[in-house]
Chain A
Amino acid sequence: MFDPVMEQILIIARDAWGFLAGLLVIVALLGGLYYVLQGTAGAAFGGSKMASAAIIGAVGLVILVLFAFLFLPQIGEMLKNFQPKPPF
C-alpha cells in the first residue's frame, strides 16, 4: 500500500544523496586548493606556521571526506540491518 510512496521518497533521497556528495567533493576540492595556495604562500615567504597549518587543514579535509564516503555507507548498512520488524 505504501510502496509507491516509498519508491518516490527513495528516488528523491537518492537524488539528494548524489547532490550532497557532489557538493561535498566540490567543497573539498576548493578547500584543498585553498590550503595548497596557503601552504605555498607560507613556504614562499618563510611562514612555517602558515605552511604547517595549511598541511594540517588539507589532511583534515581529506579525513572528513573519507569519513563521509567510507564511514557513512557503513553506518547506513548497520542501520539497515537494525531496521526493525513491526513490534505489534
Chain B
Amino acid sequence: MAEALSLLQTFFREAWLALAGALLAFVLLAALAHILRVSSSAVIGANLWVAEGLAGVAGVVLLGLFAFLGVPQIVKAALAAIPSGGGCGPIGELGSLSAGIIGGLAALRMLKALFVSVVSASVGGGGSMAQALIECAEALFGMLLAALAMPLSAWFLGAC
C-alpha cells in the first residue's frame, strides 16, 4: 500500500511541476499578447480596448500569483484537515492512502483549473474562467467531504 502511494505521489508531483512550468509560460505569453493588443489599439485610438488589455495583463498576473502562492497554501490547509489515521489495520492504511491520493488529485485539479483560466483569460473568454474557478471550489468541497468519509466509515464498520 505504501509503495503504491509513493508511486502515485511521485507521478502527481511530476505532473504538478510540469503543469506549474506550463502555467508560467502561458502567463507570460498571455501578458505579452495583451500588451500587443494594448499597443495596437492605442495606435488606432480604441480607448476601450486599451483599458480591456491593461485589465487583462493585471488579471493574468494575478491569476499566476494566486496559482503559485494561494493554491499550495489551500492544499496544505486542506491536507491537514484530512484525517489519515481513521482506524487501524487495513482501514488505517486505506485512510493514509486515500488522503495522499485525494490531496494530490485535488491539488492537480486546482492547478489545472487555473491553467485553463489563464488560457481563457489570454483570449478574453470569461465563461471558461468562471468554470475553472468553480472547479477549484469543487475540488475543495471534495476534499472536505473526503475528510469526513474516512472517520465515518471507520465508525460505521466499528473498527478500533
Chain A residues engaging chain B, CB cutoff 8 angstroms: 1-3, 5-6, 9-10, 13, 16-17, 20-21, 23-24, 27-28, 30-31, 34-35, 57, 60-61, 64-65, 67-68, 72, 75-76, 79-80, 82-88
Contact = CB atoms under 8 A, between A and B. Distances in A.
Contact of B42 (A21, A57, A79): A57
Given A60-B42, A61-B43, A20 B21 contact: no
Nearest to A64: B39
B65 A82 contact: yes
Interface of B: 9, 11-18, 20-22, 24-29, 31-33, 35-36, 38-40, 42-43, 61, 64-65, 68-69, 71-73, 75-76, 79, 100, 103-104, 107
A68 B35 contact: yes
B104 A88 contact: yes
A2 B36 CA distance: 31
A64 B69 contact: no
Given A13-B26, A79-B65, A72 B17 contact: no
